[in-house]
Structure 1
Amino acid sequence: MHNYVLEAIPTPEESREIARKAVHILKGFITDDDLLHDIDLVLTEGCSNVARHAYSTHAPCNRLELKITIIPDKSVSFEISDWGKGLCSELIDFSMPSPEAVGGRGMFIMSKLMDSFEITQINGKNTIKLTRNIKEEQWLRKE
């Protein structure tokens, strides 16, 4: 098992950068470019949601944390966390919004591209937990 923790101040630029860094790490383990693209999309969406919605004001003390767990021959998991206002998981609509909607596609996209999707709120820490099972032929290395 391989574990990584990336942190950033949640701005739009930094949220995109943290997703790029995560994909760069994954390139050392996964060969499938389409899969890496899907993961990049999911992480960019999840991290940018923190930048847009978690904190009422932008401040240097705000945090975005991305934990990556790679279990070779099995899966990759991500935990995108913040200590902002959080969101009520019962109110999240995971269906595709109408074509006229300006936003609201992120949770739908993340839930469809990952094998598991869970939202937790523990002691002021808000986390979206995402897991993607990886097929044997998609692994670059298996150690």
Structure 2
Amino acid sequence: MHRFVLEAIPTPEESREVARKAIIILKDFVADENLLHDMDLVLTEGCSNVARHAYDKIENCNKLELTIKVHPGEHIIFEIADWGKGLCSKSIDFSMPSPEAVGGRGMFIMSELMDSFELIKENGKNIIKLTRKLKEDQWRKK
């Protein structure tokens, strides 16, 4: 197993940069460009949600943390974490909003593109845990 941790102050620019750096790391393991695109979309959405919703105001003490766990030949786990307000899992709507809606597509997109989606709260840390299984031909041959 390979483990990587990326951290940033959760601004829109920094959250996008965290997702971009994650994809650079994943290119060493994932051969499927379409899957990398899906992962980029999921990570960009998850990290930008932290930037938009986790904290009441942007401060240097606020933190966005992305942990990537690569289990070669099996799956990849992403854990997007913050120490802000957190999400109430009972209030999250995972369905696609109407075409007229301005937002609200992020959770739907993340839940559709990943194999599992969990919301975890532990010791003040809010975690969105996303798991994606990969087929044998989606892994980069070493």
TM-score range, shorter chain: over 0.9
Matched residues in 2 for 1:34 and 1:108: separation? 19
Match of residue 66 from structure 1: 66
Matches within 5 A, 1:1-143: 1-141=1-141
Q: CA deviation at 1:141?
A: 3.2
Q: CA deviation at 1:87?
A: 1.0
Poorly superposed stretches of 4+, deviation over 6 Å: none
TM-score, structure 2 normalization: 0.99
- Provide the aligned length of Structure 1 versus Structure 2: 142
Given that 1:72 and 1:141 are in contact with CA atoms closer than 8 Å, whether structure 2 keeps it comes out as no
SS of residue paired to 2:4: strand
Q: CA deviation at 1:120?
A: 0.8
Q: CA deviation at 1:123?
A: 1.2
Residue identity over aligned pairs, in percent, reads 72
TM-score, structure 1 normalization: 0.98
The CA deviation string for residues 58-84 of structure 1, in whole angstroms up to 9 with x for no partner, is 101100000000000000000000000
Matched residues in 1 for 2:138 and 2:85: separation? 37
SS of residue paired to 1:43: helix
Matched residues in 1 for 2:78 and 2:57: separation? 25
The CA deviation string for residues 20-47 of structure 1, in whole angstroms up to 9 with x for no partner, is 0000000001110000000000000000
Matched residues in 1 for 2:138 and 2:41: separation? 18
Matched residues in 1 for 2:141 and 2:118: separation? 28
User: Residue 49 of structure 2 aligns to which amino acid in structure 1?
Assistant: N
SS of residue paired to 2:7: strand
User: Residue 110 of structure 2 aligns to which amino acid in structure 1?
Assistant: M
Consecutive unaligned residues in structure 2, runs of 5 or more: none
Given that 1:119 and 1:126 are in contact with CA atoms closer than 8 Å, whether structure 2 keeps it comes out as yes
CA RMSD of aligned residues (A): 0.7
User: Residue 101 of structure 1 aligns to which amino acid in structure 2?
Assistant: A
User: Residue 8 of structure 1 aligns to which amino acid in structure 2?
Assistant: A
